[in-house]
Amino acid sequence: MRPRHALAVAAAAFCLAALAAPVGAAAEPVSAPRCAEKDLTLRAAPSDDTDGSGTIKLSVRNDSSRACLVDRVPTVTYGDLDGAALPVPASPHRARTLAAHTTAYAEVRSLTASDGAEKQAPTVMYVTVAAAPDQQGHRFQVLDLGAPAGLPVWEPVTTLWQTSPSRADRVLHQQATQGVMAV
């Protein structure tokens, strides 16, 4: 994960220099500082899904008194495995503005492969979620995410940050049923 993490950090640094689009608003130029990790509250919770796909609900809240930038894609890594959950369709890392005291939502699925993937999938005991690739993020134990025996991981995917939990759920469900993911 270290070489990919370094590439993600470099890509994030490049993209954060670009203009940002506010979460839930039309894309328009906005200038805001980068969100300090200490000003963000990250949460992860088990999904209501019972299909065994390892779906986790995510949120990031800007606890500061001013708007700031987060990446438009949550960075979700699994245990010590290489890489992170990928947005589908592929989406470049770009900054998004998160207004003061506002929360954005995403969902991530750890099993996204053909039949039998769970038999081949490595199992992890924690998941780390960050609002940007160069941040440390917060580690969540899978026991607290409804997976006491560990979370199997095979080709994980994530939504972009969305304006509501129901929107994140719809986007992930659409990807699972139609093979495409809305932005």
Share of the chain above pLDDT 90, in %: 54
- Asked whether the predicted pLDDT for residue 9 surpasses 50, the reply is no
- Asked whether the predicted pLDDT for residue 46 surpasses 60, the reply is yes
pLDDT of residue 178: 61
Closest Cα partner for 64 from 34, 28, 31, 95?
A: 34
**54-102 pLDDT, tens per residue?**
899 999 999 999 999 999 999 999 999 988 999 876 677 788 999 999 9
pLDDT of residue 101: 97
Which pTM value belongs to this model? 0.78
**119-154 pLDDT, tens per residue?**
678 999 999 999 999 999 999 999 999 899 999 998
- How far is Cα 95 from Cα 133, in angstroms, rounded to an integer? 11
User: Over the range 111-131, which residues count as b (16 or more CB within 10 Å of their CB) and which as e?
Assistant: bbeeeeebeebebbebbbbbb
- How far is Cα 21 from Cα 37, in angstroms, rounded to an integer? 20
Q: Is the bond into 89 cis (omega within 30 degrees of 0)?
A: yes
